[in-house]
Structure 1
Amino acid sequence: MRPPLALGLGLTVLSALGGCEQGVEAQKACLADLTLPDPAEPTAGMVRLTGGVFAMGASAEHPEEGPPRQVRVGDFWIDQTEVTNAAFARFVDATGYVTQAERPLPEAAYPGLSTEERRPASLVFVGAGAAGGNPAAWWRIIPGADWRHPEGPGSSIAGKESWPVVHIGWEDAQAYAQWLGRDLPTEAEWEYAARGGLDSARYAWGDDPAPKTQPLANTWQGVFPVADSGEDGHKAQPAPVGCFPANGHGLYDITGNVWEWTSDWYRPGLVPASVLEQGGPSRAMSRDPDEPGQPKHVIKGGSFLCADNFCFRYRPAARAPGPHDSGASHVGFRTVLRIPAAPEAS
C-alpha cells in the first residue's frame, strides 16, 4: 500500500461532502493571462526576488516549526503561481512523462505487496461520514486517481486548466522543474518567498487572521472535516490559481489552496542554519516520528483543507512531511531558478 501522508493534513473531499462540482463559476480562471512553460524562456511566469536574511520558523503552533532562527538566502526567481494543469500538460505532451500515480509501485521496492496492491493509485480524502471520528479512515487510496483524474476514475480536469495540478509526487515535481532548467525551492527559499517581506509575521499577509468579508487564501471554513461553509468562494476544493490577493512579493496562493513540495528532506524541527545554508538536510538526516523508517520531503503552505480547528498550517512557518514516492489530491508545487552570486571583487 502506498504510504499515507501524515495525519492532520487532509486531502481532497469527494462529492459526498458537496465539494467536487460547483459549476462553471468555480472553474473560471482568476488571472486573465497565465504564462505556459517554455524551456526556451527560463524565467517566463516567474518573479525575481532579491535574497537576504530573515527569521525562519516560528514559536511553534506545532512543535516541528521551530525554534526560529536567522537564515540567509540568495537571489532567485520563483513561479508567480502554483504549477497549473495546463502547464503540467504541456510538460507531459513535450516529454511523454508518466507520473508516479500513473505507474504501478515497483515490485523490488514493495516485495510484500500483491500486483493488485501495487497498481496505479493515489490518495483521496473520503470525508468523515462513515468514518466517524477516526482520522485514519478519512482518506483512501483510490486506484486510477492521478493528475488527470483528481477524484479518481470518472473525474477529469476538463475546464480546470487554471487549477493547480495535484497528485504530483516529489519525483514528478522535480522532473518538471528540470525540464525547464529549474529546481524545487529549498524550505528556506520557499518560506522567504511566502513571507512577502513581512519578517516574523504569523500569516503571509500579516499577524491578523483574514477577515471573513475578504478571504485572503483558500482554506477550510468551518469544523474540519464535517463541513466547509465555502465562505472563501471555493468549497472543499482547490481554487484556480490567482483568485486571492498576491503577497508582498507578488506571489499568488503561496499559502492555502494546495501544499507545495520543497527540495529539503524532512525533520521534525528546523535544522541548524548552517545546514540550511549548505543546501538543507540530507536523506540520511530525514526522519518523521510517525514513520521513522521512511525518508520524506518538506511540504509547505497548507491547503484548502487546512482548518483552524485541526490543521492550521496555512502559515509561512508551517511545515509537514511528504512521502517522496507518492502525491495526493491536495499537493502541488512551484519551481525556482537560482541566480548565481556575483563574484566578490578582489
Structure 2
Amino acid sequence: MGDPFNEGYDGDGESPVHEVSVSAFRIGATTVTNQEFAEFVDATGYRTESETYGTSAVFHLAVKANTHDILNRVNNVPWWLNIRGADWAHPAGPLSNWADIPDHPVTHVSHNDALAYCQWAGRRLPTEAEWEYAARGGLSGQRYPWGNELHNDAPGETAHNCNIWQGEFPSRNTIDDGYLTTAPATSFRPNGYGLYQTSGNVWEWCSDWFLPKYYKTCHAQGTVEDPQGPTIGRGRVMRGGSYLCHDSYCNRYRLAARSSNTPDSASGNLGFRTVAL
C-alpha cells in the first residue's frame, strides 16, 4: 500500500509504502447505484442524513434548482453550492430525479447512510486495505488501475480510462470523457479483477478512521495482516477520487491517494461500494 511515486499530498499520509496481507474477500464490481439504493429505501423507509438536514452540496455547474433553493456557497470550496432539497433522490437539486440516472452511483450518502444500507443488504464497507488491493486489480505499484499513464496512446483505443475533470477547474469542463458529473457505474474498462471505476467518478467510503500517520505505524510493524485502520481519526477514509478531480488541485484519482470526511458528510460526488460478509 502507499504511493511509490512520492507525488501524494503530505497531509494525506500516503507514505511510506508498506506491505499488507488481506484475507480473501468478495467486493462489488461497482459502486452501489441509484436503483439499488432506491430498493433499500423502498424496503425500509430509510431517510438519509441529507434528507434529514434538508440540504446537500451540489457542484455549481450541475445545479437543477430554483433560485430560492440555492442557499450559499460552501466555505473554502466555492464551486460547491448548498442546495435545499438536494439528496440521493434529487442529486442535482429538487428539479432532478434519480430515476433519470438509475445506473449511476448513488450520491449524497454519508458514511452513516452507507452503513445503514450495508446492514439491510447483509454486507459491509471495505477496509482501506481491501479497497486498495481490489482497486489495483493485480497491478502492483502502478499509478492507476490500468497502468502508469493517464491516457491511452495505442491506435484504436479509447483515450479516456476514467471520469475526471478536463479543462480549467472549476469553471470550464470540456467533457472530453463524456460526463460533467457522474457516469453510469459500469462505464469505462474494468480493472484486472473486474472492478469498475476505482479511479474517478465518485469517492468511495471505507470503514477505516483516517489518521495521516497510520501508514508509518504499519510500516514499522513489517507485513500487516488485515489492517482495520486506526482506532481514532479525524474522519472516515474516502478513496478513488471523483469526477471533480484534476491534477491542478486534487490529484487524488491515483490508486494510492487518500482523503477523508466526517461520518455525517455527504455531497454530489460521494458514494460507496460494499463487501460480502
Q: TM-score, normalised by structure 1?
A: 0.69
Q: Who is 1:164 aligned against?
A: 105
Is 1:279–2:213 an aligned residue pair?
no
Q: Name the CA distance, whole Å, in 1 between partners of 2:175 and 2:43.
A: 37
Q: Who is 1:250 aligned against?
A: 194
Q: Who is 1:9 aligned against?
A: none
- Matched to 1:122, the amino acid is S
Q: Name the CA distance, whole Å, in 1 between partners of 2:188 and 2:247.
A: 19
Q: Name the CA distance, whole Å, in 1 between partners of 2:269 and 2:186.
A: 17
Confirm or deny: 8 A CA contact 1:197 1:249 kept in the other structure. Answer: yes
Identity of aligned residues (%): 47
Q: Who is 1:311 aligned against?
A: 250
Q: Classify the secondary structure of the residue corresponding to 2:20.
A: strand
Query: Residue 211 of structure 1: CA displacement?
Result: 2.8
Q: Name the CA distance, whole Å, in 2 between partners of 1:280 and 1:214.
A: 36
Confirm or deny: 8 A CA contact 1:60 1:67 kept in the other structure. Answer: no
Q: Name the CA distance, whole Å, in 2 between partners of 1:169 and 1:146.
A: 11
Q: Who is 1:233 aligned against?
A: 178
Q: Name the CA distance, whole Å, in 2 between partners of 1:224 and 1:81.
A: 27
**Distance change >3 Å, CA 306–CA 217, structure 1 → 2:** same
Is 1:221–2:166 an aligned residue pair?
yes
**Distance change >3 Å, CA 206–CA 269, structure 1 → 2:** farther
Confirm or deny: 8 A CA contact 2:214 2:229 kept in the other structure. Answer: no
Query: Residue 61 of structure 1: CA displacement?
Result: 2.1
Query: Residue 70 of structure 1: CA displacement?
Result: 0.7
2:9 pairs with 56, 59, 62, which one?
62
Q: Name the CA distance, whole Å, in 1 between partners of 2:88 and 2:132.
A: 26
Q: Name the CA distance, whole Å, in 2 between partners of 1:70 and 1:193.
A: 15
**Distance change >3 Å, CA 276–CA 154, structure 1 → 2:** farther
Confirm or deny: 8 A CA contact 1:123 1:142 kept in the other structure. Answer: yes
5+ residue gaps, structure 1: 1-54, 105-119, 287-294, 339-346
Structure number with larger C-alpha Rg: 1
Q: Classify the secondary structure of the residue corresponding to 1:78.
A: coil
Query: Residue 137 of structure 1: CA displacement?
Result: 2.1
Confirm or deny: 8 A CA contact 2:23 2:226 kept in the other structure. Answer: no
- Matched to 1:152, the amino acid is G
2:124 pairs with 158, 165, 183, which one?
183
Q: Who is 2:65 aligned against?
A: none
5+ residue gaps, structure 2: 62-71
Q: Name the CA distance, whole Å, in 1 between partners of 2:80 and 2:100.
A: 25
Q: Who is 1:98 aligned against?
A: 47
Q: Which digits, 9 at most, give the CA deviation of each residue in 1:309-336, with x for residues without a partner? A: 1111111101111121121000000001
- Matched to 1:305, the amino acid is L
Query: Residue 269 of structure 1: CA displacement?
Result: 4.0
Q: Name the CA distance, whole Å, in 2 between partners of 1:326 and 1:215.
A: 30
